Amino acid sequence: MGFLESSERVMERWTTNLWGFLLPAKRERGEAVAMLLRQCDDNALIVGRQRVVVRTAGHVMGAEVLGSIEYGVDVLGCPLVVVLGHDSCGAVGAACAALEDGMAPAGYVRDVVERVTPSVLAARAAGRVEPEEILAEHIRHTVDLLLDRSRVLAEKVAAGRAAVVGLCYRLADGSAQLVAARGLDAAVPTAS
Ligand SMILES: [Zn+2]
């Protein structure tokens, strides 16, 4: 099974798992139940029956990505936003390499690296230098940045009508670990 297909399944399991916690209170309208901000590939917004998917390298966010997420949450009524990072992420690796070398990559890859770099620096400042620790920091950072930048989403989370979680996907076995959760008032069941 390929990465994209496998990570779709992870998404399916998690959203099914979280459904019981979130949706009775938080679902507002429409068919969309979760949004996946996922790494690597194009910035594609796919409005499916159950999920809105926004993909960027290193799950970085610019205005269009934030707009796509707000569209999913506010217009389509998605109560759950999932930031799904993965190990061996090339975008995180590129940011680490750029810091090591002191060289920014060319073209728009630089924009991706520049958006990942604060996470790498924060991890380093906290003494977290292992790749999985840096990735977890970047996922947490993305979750917090989402809520910091999107007033629409922050207000829904504050009102108890939406939640944001960050998951770390493992390529080797297709499992995912929860590394951040905002707006969940109950303990989250583990899913692998
Ligand atoms: Zn990646």
Question: Nearest Cα to 57, choosing from 116, 131, 134?
Answer: 116
**Given a cut of 70, is residue 62 above it in pLDDT?**
yes
Element counts in the chain: helices (H) and strands (E):
6, 6
For residue 3, report the distance from its CA to the centre of ligand 1, in Å: 11
For residue 25, report the distance from its CA to the centre of ligand 1, in Å: 33
For residue 92, report the distance from its CA to the centre of ligand 1, in Å: 7
Residues 54 and 37 sit within 8 Å (Cβ to Cβ): yes
The predicted model scores a pTM of: 0.78
Q: Which residues contact 14 (CB under 8 A, 6 or more apart)?
A: 82, 165, 167, 176, 191
pLDDT in tens, 67-77: 988 988 888 77
For residue 169, report the distance from its CA to the centre of ligand 1, in Å: 10
CA–CA separation, 105 and 170 (whole Å): 26
| 80 phi and psi angles, rounded to 5 deg | -130, 125
For residue 175, report the distance from its CA to the centre of ligand 1, in Å: 15
pLDDT in tens, 90-146: 999 999 999 999 999 999 999 999 999 999 999 999 999 999 999 999 999 999 999
CA–CA separation, 104 and 102 (whole Å): 7
Element (H, E) at 176: strand 176-182
For residue 127, report the distance from its CA to the centre of ligand 1, in Å: 23
Q: Which residues contact 62 (CB under 8 A, 6 or more apart)?
A: 111, 115
For residue 76, report the distance from its CA to the centre of ligand 1, in Å: 27
Q: Which residues contact 118 (CB under 8 A, 6 or more apart)?
A: 141
CA–CA separation, 59 and 43 (whole Å): 10
